[in-house]
Structure 1
């Protein structure tokens, strides 16, 4: 159905919609392609910005910059303006508030965790936090795990799981000083220990050496355990240095083959 609005009516509408609610109603009454809708939309968003500011301030002091939260709230407000349908019988504020709050909660759920955890744990953390605050006021003391479990109707193990998952919300930089001497957290972390790999190789080396004949075993032992040169080995065994080189190459090829098979 096409709605025709003459210039005089448009001018009257623009001047009479002074309140934020009237702006939304006037915009919603126009079809999507109407030339006046875009201007009314911008004015409606601007008129309702204080609501976005108010709702974003509810979530201040939770580790996120106020300006970032305000921007998220504005995005929620824009979605509310674009999706609002006046004929549903709900006033705009009643529609916009949960839309903006939903956007803010989604921001905290999806953007502020240092380590990604399942959504179930994220939502469980929020429920535990809310329950803890409510119980502290009700009981006049800090709530126990059992108190929270009973309040939420879940097991104590699930509460503990939620509390453990909450640790992923914030992380500590490896550059954080942990002592007066300037030692950083990253310096206390262990490095790669080659000893484990070397121990595995020693275990596999015994059976691999057993595949060599007696002379090959002796040459390998003199070269790598006795630290003799090929010339010294040749003099000790009574063969040429060139022959030692060929036997050593053949022995090492056998060992590599055996050790490779063991690794597989």
Structure 2
């Protein structure tokens, strides 16, 4: 591979990996950072660029399988589709990741992967292919059923539904038939068994990870910190990374605690203003 220089970095020969999908997770983390670093300086469309990108995809497919494992109640065929869709999210994460954000790639990629999987479920929740007009009619039918049941105190007839929905009785029957193609299950439905007894679908529904909400904040904050001068960044690091007191920071800088307090408040105000401007 030809070594070339750019304004920010220098490309170098990447290690040849025979089977990236077999790389151990503990090694994949370090190699991922190396390949992402080189991907940022390689020219798009070159053989080296494609090798780096394809290797990153194969090496991190375990992230996709991890995200897909939350939906293990699905059939084998569905799981293969879920992994394929999740891989699209992984590719988007690789193409959009920037090392300058100082965020772990895993934390950055998982939301992209799960987002694609959720979008897949939203768009393909029908057990059989149903025309769009009938999918929309099913929703309209459910609302009409609820309204008439509340009003009449009984199940409405097809004629009553057709009048409320402004559809023919034949179209109402089609919408009813289409409803049978929608795949749904009770959260209490048993989906597997183990030594401890049957497991319900609700047992496999994950909780929202509040820490993921911090990813966007970190991404927005990183360039703002990069714009600070050396002393401001040093103060921020000592206060929030080293967790030094203002008095200890003052000793390191040779200034009073009061002066450190003023500098810290001014820097935090600058960062706060920048964060508000990006939202």
Highest CA radius of gyration, 1 or 2?
1
Pairwise same-fold verdict (TM > 0.5): no
TM-score (norm 2): 0.36
- Comparing both chains, which one has the higher relative contact order based on Cα–Cα distances under 8 Å and sequence gaps of 6 or more? 2
TM-score (norm 1): 0.38
